[in-house]
A and B are shown apart, each in its own frame.
Chain A
Amino acid sequence: GQQLNQSPQSMFIQEGEDVSMNCTSSSIFNTWLWYKQDPGEGPVLLIALYKAGELTSNGRLTAQFGITRKDSFLNISASIPSDVGIYFCAGQTSGGSNYKLTFGKGTLLTVNP
């Protein structure tokens, strides 16, 4: 299956700093989803984007659906220790009976207090 290019692979930041991560694909997606996964747990949905150009916020998180429909970014402002985890992007093609997600490999975020 196809993989998305997610970068960076890992980030080490100080508490209070802003963070940015992004995903790019050679294919067009109809939906972009951003998830956070804590160790040993299932991914939790953070933000869902459904339209090209859409910019959506969820508290300190902001994500955008790229105009070309081949990329998306996630920003976290004023990071706190509980932001630690793995962040995944996922692009979804849809139509007919085919709704499948393609996942990035994740960005591991470490926040130093």
Chain B
Amino acid sequence: DGGITQSPKYLFRKEGQNVTLSCEQNLNHDAMYWYRQDPGQGLRLIYYSQIVNDFQKGDIAEGYSVSREKKESFPLTVTSAQKNPTAFYLCASRVTDTQYFGPGTRLTVL
């Protein structure tokens, strides 16, 4: 069954703690993306990676970090430097000009 998986679905963390969100795809796509979604706003790009071992900052990269050691995996770390981390996080992968999204992780920082 091909697709994009994100885990966990819901994540709670205390303020000041770093947290890593998982994103895995078995679609053999080279490019992967992380977005943040807040109520009433469109999706905003955090980081993207066009190929293994390479990634670029998106529009709102401050307070986040990523790695791309394997084609299938693109984990996102939300660091304590992110001022307002509570949000819905979406991972996507791309083939040619089309992006496909995972089911999302809702992060709540208490």
Contacts and interface: CB of A to CB of B under 8 A. Distances in A.
A42 B90 contact: yes
Contact of B98 (A3, A31, A40, A97): A31
Interface string A18-54: 0000000000001101010000111111001010000
Contact of A3 (B33, B42, B103, B104): B42
B97 interface: yes
B107 interface: no
Chain A interface mostly: loop
Contacts of A94: 97
A103 B101 contact: no
Interface size class of A (residues with CB under 8 A): 20 to 34
B42 A43 contact: no
B84 to A, nearest CB: 17
Most A CB atoms within 10 A — which of B41, B42, B44?
Answer: B42
Given A31-B97, A48-B97, 6 more contacts: A4-B42, A40-B104, A42-B103, A100-B45, A101-B43, A105-B42
Interface of B: 4, 6, 31, 33, 40-45, 48, 50, 58-59, 88, 90, 94, 97-104, 106
Interface of A: 1, 3-4, 30-31, 33, 35, 40-45, 48, 50, 88, 90, 92, 94, 97, 99-101, 103-106
